[in-house]
Amino acid sequence: MKFETALLHGDKKEKRTIQSKATPIYQTSAFTFKSLEELEGFYSGNGNYLYTRSGNPNTDELGEVVARLEGAAAGVAAASGLGAIMVGILAVAKNGDHIIATDDVYGGSFHLIVEELTQFGIDVTIVPFSDMTQVEAAIKENTKLLYTESITNPLLRVEDLKAVVSLAKKYNLKTLIDNTFASPFHCQPIELGVDMVVHSATKYIGGHSDVTAGVIVGSTELIELAAAKVVNLGVNLSPFEAWLTVRGAKTLALRMKEQSYHAKKVAEALLIHEGVERVYYPFEQNGAYGYGAMVTIELKQQADVSTFFRSLGWIKIVPTLAGVESSVSHPITTSHRAVPEETCEALGINEHLIRISIGIEHYEDIISQLSMAIEKAMNK
């Protein structure tokens, strides 16, 4: 199937006797049994559902949808993107093991890896994946995993996934890639040999800023391990959130085509704006619709950042991204607030850095509104 068709149709095993077009919402905490023998059948593998924390038709459907789009054997939903990252790491690393992560990840992921997972006894090394010699030099005897993002947040560096996979295979390591910014529409890391792919489905998979969800996909063996962590650590997704996310995913191709096309137009326009010091956008990818719907800019030093944010008009200021409405965020005070100052400084994440999530409005209107805000910031 082509991508757009696979969004809507798959090899679904029909579990329902009433043939509704849309999957019903199984908003139940538990499932019933006719006898103790039938209950025991669940534990012996002859039953599908017991208790929603351990499985639900809606959360299963979400895992299956994203796995299908990514070309993976299996998938499992979690309560958030960070929850999905956590269970992915814990599926392969435990107390006494070591993982390596790139330095330019999302700030929440940085905090999870550096501050929280180390309390599980997992050793962590942060290095720039832009230099694979540094990654290789960081590998230890107890290293289990390489973690990075297909397009990094917020600097939009496109990861060399082939190089990451090659290095991992050389040392028999697993790979976990956050594919949130690219979405499966632009990038399918499993095809390149990546072991596990994670999404904050809150973003482009859901697409409408009305859910918080995560999904991790990969081999059946690895996802079984991750799914056990979802159940035992209690980071399962609710049925209604899963249902909303699946509904949103059906328009992923339509949204990404439009939003990515607009993003490239916006990036090109801001590239020549006199108030902009630098534009971060993966121009070199040359996709038919651009390469992702995120644009990051650094304003000129003389620009007043507060004035810029006060002058955005209908463009919303939010700490997240990827809805159908354009929005902006300030990484240094939101997503990367908990990242050490010296790390942000080294990466170039400063007060003048602005992350822009491009929506489905006409790109000329987006450019006009952003340009007006930049001009006001320059004039103060």
Which two structure tokens, joined as six digits, stand for 321? 């991204």
Q: Please, which residues bridge with residue 158 across strands?
A: 151
User: Tell me, what DSSP letter sits at residue 24?
Assistant: P
- Burial pattern 169-207, b for ≥16 Cβ within 10 A else e, equals eeeebbbbbbbbbbbbbbbbbbebebbbbbbbbbbbbbb
Catalytic residue among 49, 51, 53, 365: 53
In the annotation, is 53 catalytic? yes
* DSSP, residue by residue, 177-213: EE-TTTHHHH--GGGGT-SEEEEETTTTTT-SS----
* Token couple for 44: 């012996």
261 is catalytic: no
| Known catalytic membership, residue 291 | no
Q: How far is CA 31 from CA 50, 52, 61, 201, 339, in A?
A: 5, 8, 17, 26, 43
Identify the burial level of 90 via C-beta atoms within 10 angstroms of its C-beta, where 0-12 means exposed, 13-18 middle and 19 or more buried: buried
Which DSSP category does 288 fall into? B
Select from 48, 1, 59, 3 the least CA-distant residue to 26: 59
Which among 37, 43, 91 has a CA at the least distance from the CA of 222?
91
105: amino acid identity, one letter: V
Q: What gap in Å lies between CA 107 and CA 204, rounded to an integer? A: 18
Is 203 part of the annotated catalytic residue set?
Answer: yes
d(CA 167, CA 269): 38
CB 62 within 8 A of CB 201: yes
DSSP reduced 3-state for 74:
strand
Active site residue: 26, 68, 103, 106, which one? 106
Catalytically annotated residue among 60, 97, 104, 178: 178
> Of 68, 157, 174, 203, which one is the catalytic site residue?
203
Helices (runs of H) and strands (runs of E) counted in the chain: 14, 12
Task: Encode 107-123 in three state secondary structure.
Answer: HHHHHHHHHHHHHHCCE
Catalytically active residues are 53, 106, 178, 203
